[in-house]
Amino acid sequence: MEKTIKKNTKKKSSLAHKLLFSMLLVVIISTVASFAMNRILLGPYYYYQQSRILNNTANQVDELYTGVLNEDIVRELNTMGYGINGMILIYNQDNEVLYSSRAFQGQFFSVTEDELGAGKKNLLLDGTRIGFRAPSQNKAPVSPWKDPLITVEKELKNGDHLIIQTSETALEASVGIINQFTLYPASVALIAAIVLAFFLTKKITRPVVELTEITKRMKSLDFSSRYEGEADDEIGELGQNFNDLAETLGITIGELNQANDQLREDIEREKAIEEARKNFISNVSHELKTPISLIRGYAEGIRDQVIEPQDFEEYLSVIIEESEHMSSMVRELLTLSKLESHHIPTYFEEVDVTEIINRVIEMFSFEMHKEGIKMVYEAPSEPKMLVCDQNMLETMLTNFMSNALDHVEGEKIIEIRLEETLESLGIHVRNSGKTIVKEDQDKIWDSFYKIDKARTRAYGGTGLGLAIVKNMVEIHKGTYGVENWEDGVDFYIRLPKDNKVSEK
């Protein structure tokens, strides 16, 4: 069953936007929660702390006042009153005011337990009752304030009574001011947090964006990009891992491509070899078909006695000639096969090239004389020594001469000349006649390639001579080629002078 890979078409949300939104959400929630908690809890907390201060002051007064008021005690009590921003009042059991930290006007009424309970709130601290109430409408105020009060009433150790009062309105004002002031730094902190969140988001997401770009290139098989961040954290480690992965994948893909190229070349080479094998078999079959047919036809004529006795010698000559042609082809095929498989033995020695040239010219002198061919060769005054395989060099020159004889025309001139440089020795064999078109100049070095098959057959050629020359030159690490002249063709080989003599 085929699996269908669905491409995610959902719109992508940027990581930077997500991170920035998350950070801003945390900052805003934290700021709002802090402000709300301050608004809700600061008032009760402030009241509680103020009540503890008043209670502590009452305990200090109880320790300080023992029933006697002197100048030092009064000064200390005044200081305590200013310290709590309230009033300290001491009265006896007859409701006579013994001390007041502030000016006291009007008839004094004690604060009863019921009045404390009738206040808007009351609490008990360390056995001391603290009341919160509004001023009475029916009685004269206990204190000079007309605002709601926080009152502490305590019976002192000597039997006198203590009342400490402070204004609740002033306390509420302080709480309001604090809450209002908190709004400003909270707003500034919120703006600063937003700006900081923006820059932190860019700093955090920058390496992620860089890694994303690297992965996009890796997806396109481009492994050249590298992460350049230097952070010593998980993202830095991830970037280094990406670099290692890109390098490993680059090497692996390169090796795979190289292996694929090599495999492709091997396949092409195998195809070429197979094609060459088929062509070789086809060419051999074609080349052998004519001499075999001639031998068979002439042999059958002799067997069936359908020819005149005076023609026997001619028939036998044709049979012998075609047999020699096939024998020559088989020998050259074996030689070419050994050359191409590098199984032919070679022996490099220092030889006189001019001596070999003279021997080859002598070999073809009778045929050239018979055909009226002019041989041009200017022998050097001194021997030309070269390290090479003597038999191969003679074979190469023989094949060049045989090819020249097959194609010489016009003035019927064959010329051999030497061309020496510091690195090599060149041997040229030129014949007058038709030139070779550019398209055929590379093909003539292949097996059985003949430009004019009728002419080659007339001279007994096999189509293997130049292919043998090519392989022998390659064994000598030399070069070969053909050049058109105005009145003919020039075949040449160049053999290097630095070949080493074979060990005996």
Higher pLDDT, 312 or 410: 410
pLDDT at 183 over 70: yes
Per-residue pLDDT tens over the stretch 93-111: 888 888 888 754 333 444 4
Give the pLDDT of residue 494. 96
Task: List C-alpha distances in Å: 258 to 225, 251, 253, 261, 263.
Answer: 21, 10, 8, 5, 8
Region 17-174: CATH code = 3.30.450
Domain positions in the chain: 17-174, 221-342, 345-496
Per-residue pLDDT tens over the stretch 195-244: 887 777 777 777 777 777 777 777 777 777 777 766 677 777 777 787 78
Q: How confident is the model at residue 153 (pLDDT cuts 50, 70, 90)?
A: confident
Give the pLDDT of residue 170. 66
Per-residue pLDDT tens over the stretch 7-16: 454 555 577 6
Average pLDDT over residues 145-165: 79
Give the pLDDT of residue 286. 64
pLDDT at 252 over 70: yes
Region 221-342: CATH code = 1.10.287.130
Tell me how far apart the alpha carbons of residues 387 and 498 are, in angstroms, rounded to a whole number.
8
CB 456 within 8 A of CB 406: yes
Give the pLDDT of residue 488. 92
Q: Is 280 left (phi over 0), alpha (psi -120 to 50) or beta?
A: alpha
Average pLDDT over residues 184-205: 78
Estimate to the nearest angstrom the gap between the alpha carbon of 393 and the chain centroid: 55
Per-residue pLDDT tens over the stretch 301-329: 777 777 777 777 887 888 887 787 777 77
Q: Nearest 5°: CA angle at 367, between 362 and 372?
A: 110
Average pLDDT, the chain: 78
Give the pLDDT of residue 429. 96
Give the pLDDT of residue 147. 54
Architecture of domain 345-496: 2-Layer Sandwich (3.30)
Tell me how far apart the alpha carbons of residues 493 and 164 are, in angstroms, rounded to a whole number.
130
Strand order in the sheet with 97-100: 97-100, 86-91, 161-167, 149-155, 128-133, 121-125
Q: How confident is the model at residue 423 (pLDDT cuts 50, 70, 90)?
A: very high
Average pLDDT over residues 35-56: 79
Residue 312, both tokens: 């026997």
Tell me how far apart the alpha carbons of residues 332 and 392 are, in angstroms, rounded to a whole number.
13
The DSSP line for 23-38 is HHHHHHHHHHHHHHHH
Strands (E), 403-487: 413-420, 424-432, 479-485
Give the pLDDT of residue 452. 60
The contacts of residue 171 (CB under 8 Å, 6+ apart) are: 46, 47, 50, 150
Find the distance separating the first CA and the last CA of the chain, reported in whole Å. Answer: 71
Strand partners, 361: none
| Burial of 350: CB neighbours in 10 Å, binned 0-12, 13-18, 19+ | exposed
Tell me how far apart the alpha carbons of residues 61 and 56 are, in angstroms, rounded to a whole number.
9
Task: Report the relative pairing of strands 161-167 and 413-420 from DSSP bridges.
Answer: unpaired
